[in-house]
Structure 1
Amino acid sequence: MDVVEFLSQRIAEDEAAARNLLNDRSVSESGKWYERRVLLECEAKKRLIGIVESARQAALAAMVRHPEGDTPWIPEAIEWTTLSLNALALPYVDHPDFERRWLGT
Structure 2
Amino acid sequence: MDIVEFLSARIKEDEAAARRLLLDRSVSESGQWYERRLLLECEAKKRLIHIVESARQSALASMVSDPYGDGQWIPEAIGWMAESLNALALPYYDHPDFEQGWLR
TM-score normalized by the length of structure 1: 0.96
* Number of residue-to-residue matches in the alignment: 104
CA RMSD of aligned residues (A): 0.8
Distance 1:19 1:29 in 2: 14
Distance 1:31 1:19 in 2: 12
Distance 1:24 1:81 in 2: 38
What amino acid is aligned across from residue 98 of structure 1 in structure 2? F
- Which deviates more, 65-74 or 76-85? 65-74
- Which deviates more, 66-75 or 3-12? 66-75
Structure 2 equivalent of residue 10 of structure 1: 10
Q: By how many angstroms is 1:67 displaced?
A: 1.7
Q: By how many angstroms is 1:68 displaced?
A: 2.3
Structure 2 equivalent of residue 76 of structure 1: 76
What amino acid is aligned across from residue 55 of structure 1 in structure 2? A
What amino acid is aligned across from residue 48 of structure 1 in structure 2? L
What amino acid is aligned across from residue 88 of structure 1 in structure 2? L
Unaligned runs of 5+ in 1: none
- Which deviates more, 24-33 or 60-69? 60-69
Structure 2 equivalent of residue 41 of structure 1: 41
Q: By how many angstroms is 1:62 displaced?
A: 0.6
Structure 2 equivalent of residue 101 of structure 1: 101
Q: By how many angstroms is 1:66 displaced?
A: 1.6
- Superposed CA offset, 1:18-74 (max 9, x none): 000000011011100000000000000000010011111111111111222531110
Q: Give the % identical residues.
A: 78
Distance 2:87 2:67 in 1: 29
What amino acid is aligned across from residue 74 of structure 1 in structure 2? I
What amino acid is aligned across from residue 26 of structure 2 in structure 1? S
